[in-house]
Structure 1
Amino acid sequence: MDHFPIIQALCRTAMAEASPAVRKQIERLRDALKKDGDEKQAASIAGILTAAQRAREVAPSRIERSRAQWVGETLAPNTPVPVDRETAAALADIIFPNEISPRAPLFNSTVSQAITTILEEWTNFDVLSELDIAPSKTCLIYGAPGTGKTRLALWMAHVLKLPVVLVKLDGLVSSFLGTTARNIGNLFSFANRYRCVLLLDEFDAIAKVRDDPQEVGEIKRVVNALLQNLDVRRDIGFTIGITNHPKLLDAAVWRRFEVQLEVPKPDFAMRMAIATQFMPPIKAPDSHLRLIAWFTEGATGAEIESLVRTYKKAMSLRTTERLDLLSTLRQFATLNAARVQSERRALLLDEPTNLFRAMRDDPVLGFTMADIGEIAGKDKSTVSRQIGKAQKNDEGH
């Protein structure tokens, strides 16, 4: 089937909040693929349906049984959080499940299945207990900035119906090094007292390599204090660490995390799914979504969201002189040069014919002359003539 990765991504997006009617149509697609002998593609769609079913099985009754296994008191909106003694600044923010978006973040099937596995361990706490096995209680999520790591961690807490004690570790660092170690101790004592997910953001701010010759002995003791508190918490609650810089982490830090989940930058199909998710209420043509996904190769989900916002502004604010898609992309590439892959940016800002040829020849895009003409604001015969003329010029040279 042509463009199956796109169909696969759209199915995964639809199943995130699928009605019975949507699920029925995706099941029909699975059955049709199998009937036509497309076993591999049918299996892929079946996997999406299975993963969605498992996610739905995280039913309230099972979550309640899981929560019953947690020790500690219940966090309330008026529960005081620990503060830095020197500055009186709060050491953490409390985020409750009803404050977190219920929409699952978009990742490829491999990452999504891994996340489902982690949640299944917690929602089947009682089953694991009968086998004398505990669910994974520590998870390190790492990857490039903007790939959705914090959003993922918050969503996991939402599914588990647990409040989040969110800590940006750079905020724990005090000019008084002894105060930093005390802040860490107070924070963990607080998290260990309540039923919650402890989310340690910007984990590399403290957990640096301890043998760095530029670090003084006191900093090393601060890192040791962090490791000791992580060890104590392993038997108490769920802890998630997040970092953009995994290479800065000490090997001893890595060993503290049972799950080490890398969040990759999205592939073409996922980039299209992300663009589709953020596009409403604007209704963009399929060719526009494909070109946005192609243009954002190497981009993160946050960068794709930023481009979609630019597109929506262009489509809605300029009612009389509406920018075409290529002009919108050029505008974005000019204002966000560091966020755009250099090859794609060069094509956009170069002679349009070179871009048309690249769009025509790219097998992932699968554009027809009509698609290119619609995007460029020209008829397909004009585009064809321009490309043909450029090819003759190249052959002449």
Structure 2
Amino acid sequence: MEHFPIVQALCRAALAQPTPAIRKQIERLRDAIAKEGDSKSSGALSSLLTAADRNVEMAPSRITASRAQIPGEILTRNTPVPVDRETSAPLAEFVFPEETNTHGPIFENAIHQAINSLIEEWNNFDNLAAVGVHPSRSCLIYGSPGTGKTRLAMWMASKLSLPVVLVRIDGLISSFLGTTARNIGNLFAFSNRYRCVLLLDEFDAIAKLRDDPQEVGEIKRVVNALLQNLDTRRDIGITIGITNHQNLLDPAVWRRFEVQLHIPKPDFDTRMKLAENFMHPVPAPRTHVKLIAWFTEGATGAEIEAVVRTYKRAAVMKDKEGGKLIDTLRQFAILNSARLDPARRELLFTEPGNLFRALNQDERLKLSYEDIGDMAGRDKSSISRAVAKV
């Protein structure tokens, strides 16, 4: 399509504040371009529409700002960072709202709604206080590595226009007896003084079970100090803990968090949204995005991003839309075998007809032999013969 970059820029600008009418017209344009056989341009418009959907999903629906009720002094770039007294190692680093990626992570709709309700609570201190309740001031986010927990916490803080005091576990934990507990106290005292979100990443490092036989007595003092400081912060600021190992946490720690948010691995539809998001700015046919979502069954967002990076490299190096996609996926499977579902990996390397039949019969994919041929670098009849063979 002639002058398509200009058309694409106009569509991107229009989708910054989309209306149903704008969206409808861009969908019509995408479908018309697809009918003309320009899959690259139609794929680019599909990516714009998907990005617009994501921004709408992650935007809280009713925010009436009343942030001034969060007590404390204003944290600035000139505020001294709390440090370990013995080593002078910083106990935290500051992340300000303007330094945070404005795009929130992609989750299932139910999780989006729960997150939005939590942000609305934090943005409505006055309204809640008027009826004798207060927002949940503490949140524990847990789940598998790579599911977007830290990114979510940073995004939530940016929506509240609050800086993050990000705890540095390496500076917090000391080999000196009693120093770790004292560092925890100093960190919480600092956070209680300023308007901020206290973010405890890798939280299990300081909140382990106190009856763990592998730990020395020092861990009990550390956990006790942590519990006491979480109690003192209960009515002061906002605290977010993040862990990949929730089974290691002491039961008493769980009770200190009013919200306990589990981030699961993404389902098929969410994996498609993630793949489309990571694909930018490389246009990809929807059938390719579907196959990547199918291929990454049981994967996390970080693992899906790794697959898409391989796809984009192939697209650039072969100057095609991913080249032969199935060959690209096999290459990824060889180099990243531990990241993949074993059943999916086995299908990639078994008799081709088994793979082609699985792709054709999967209700979520609904791939025709022609679609499969495009991704395998074969014609429709050879796909049909390979399926009949098995």
**Could you say which TM-score interval applies, normalised by the shorter chain?**
0.7 to 0.9
**Does residue 287 of structure 1 match 2:292?**
no
The 3 A distance-change label for structure 1 pair 24 and 191 is same
Shift of residue 214, structure 1, vs aligned partner? 2.8
Match of 1:236 in 2: 236
Match of 2:49 in 1: none
Residues 348-375 of structure 1: CA deviation (Å, up to 9, x unaligned): 1222221111111211111111111111
Match of 1:20 in 2: 18
For residue 55 of structure 1, the aligned residue among 60, 75, 85 is: 60
CA contact (8 A) 2:324 2:374 kept: no
Match of 1:76 in 2: 76
Q: Provide the C-alpha distance between the structure 1 equivalents of 2:196 and 2:101, rounded to a whole number of angstroms.
A: 17
Residues 187-220 of structure 1: CA deviation (Å, up to 9, x unaligned): 1111111000000000100111111123232220
Shift of residue 56, structure 1, vs aligned partner? 4.8
CA contact (8 A) 1:138 1:234 kept: yes
The 3 A distance-change label for structure 1 pair 329 and 268 is same
Match of 1:326 in 2: 326
CA contact (8 A) 1:84 1:90 kept: yes
| SS state at 2:198 partner | strand
CA contact (8 A) 2:96 2:163 kept: yes
**Does residue 222 of structure 1 match 2:222?**
yes
| SS state at 2:60 partner | helix
What are the residue-to-residue correspondences of 1:183-222 with 2, within 5 Å? 183-222=183-222
Match of 1:99 in 2: 99
Q: Provide the C-alpha distance between the structure 2 equivalents of 1:183 and 1:161, rounded to a whole number of angstroms.
A: 27
The 3 A distance-change label for structure 1 pair 222 and 265 is same
The 3 A distance-change label for structure 1 pair 118 and 23 is farther
For 2:100, give the aligned amino acid.
I
263-272 or 76-85: which moved more?
76-85
CA contact (8 A) 1:143 1:245 kept: yes
**Does residue 357 of structure 1 match 2:357?**
yes
**Percent pairwise identity:** 62
Match of 2:310 in 1: 310
| SS state at 1:261 partner | strand
The 3 A distance-change label for structure 1 pair 80 and 293 is same
CA contact (8 A) 1:170 1:205 kept: no
**Does residue 275 of structure 1 match 2:280?**
no
CA contact (8 A) 1:297 1:341 kept: yes
| SS state at 1:101 partner | coil
The 3 A distance-change label for structure 1 pair 363 and 203 is same
Shift of residue 281, structure 1, vs aligned partner? 0.9
Aligned CA RMSD, in angstroms, stands at 2.4
Shift of residue 73, structure 1, vs aligned partner? 0.8
Unpaired stretches in structure 1, ≥5 consecutive residues: 1-13, 30-47, 391-397
Q: Provide the C-alpha distance between the structure 1 equivalents of 2:273 and 2:24, rounded to a whole number of angstroms.
A: 16
Match of 2:381 in 1: 381
The 3 A distance-change label for structure 1 pair 221 and 82 is same
Unpaired stretches in structure 2, ≥5 consecutive residues: 1-11, 28-52
Q: Provide the C-alpha distance between the structure 2 equivalents of 1:89 and 1:202, rounded to a whole number of angstroms.
A: 18
Shift of residue 21, structure 1, vs aligned partner? 3.3
Residues 201-257 of structure 1: CA deviation (Å, up to 9, x unaligned): 001001111111232322201110001000001111000000001111111000000
Match of 2:142 in 1: 142
| SS state at 2:240 partner | strand
For 1:19, give the aligned amino acid.
Q
| SS state at 1:105 partner | coil
| SS state at 1:293 partner | helix
Q: Provide the C-alpha distance between the structure 2 equivalents of 1:329 and 1:125, rounded to a whole number of angstroms.
A: 49
The 3 A distance-change label for structure 1 pair 72 and 26 is farther
Residues 115-162 of structure 1: CA deviation (Å, up to 9, x unaligned): 011011111211101011110000000000000000000000000000
Q: Provide the C-alpha distance between the structure 2 equivalents of 1:258 and 1:157, rounded to a whole number of angstroms.
A: 17
CA contact (8 A) 2:147 2:265 kept: yes
| SS state at 1:347 partner | helix
Aligned residues: 352
Match of 1:45 in 2: none
The 3 A distance-change label for structure 1 pair 23 and 126 is farther
Q: Provide the C-alpha distance between the structure 2 equivalents of 1:272 and 1:320, rounded to a whole number of angstroms.
A: 21
Match of 1:342 in 2: 342
Q: Provide the C-alpha distance between the structure 1 equivalents of 2:139 and 2:194, rounded to a whole number of angstroms.
A: 19
| SS state at 1:85 partner | coil
The 3 A distance-change label for structure 1 pair 192 and 249 is same
Q: Provide the C-alpha distance between the structure 2 equivalents of 1:53 and 1:276, rounded to a whole number of angstroms.
A: 16
| SS state at 1:55 partner | coil
The 3 A distance-change label for structure 1 pair 282 and 74 is same
TM-score computed with the length of structure 2 as normaliser: 0.85
CA contact (8 A) 1:177 1:219 kept: no
The 3 A distance-change label for structure 1 pair 170 and 203 is farther
Shift of residue 80, structure 1, vs aligned partner? 0.9
Q: Provide the C-alpha distance between the structure 1 equivalents of 2:182 and 2:368, rounded to a whole number of angstroms.
A: 64
CA contact (8 A) 1:71 1:195 kept: yes
Q: Provide the C-alpha distance between the structure 2 equivalents of 1:26 and 1:271, rounded to a whole number of angstroms.
A: 24
106-115 or 315-324: which moved more?
315-324
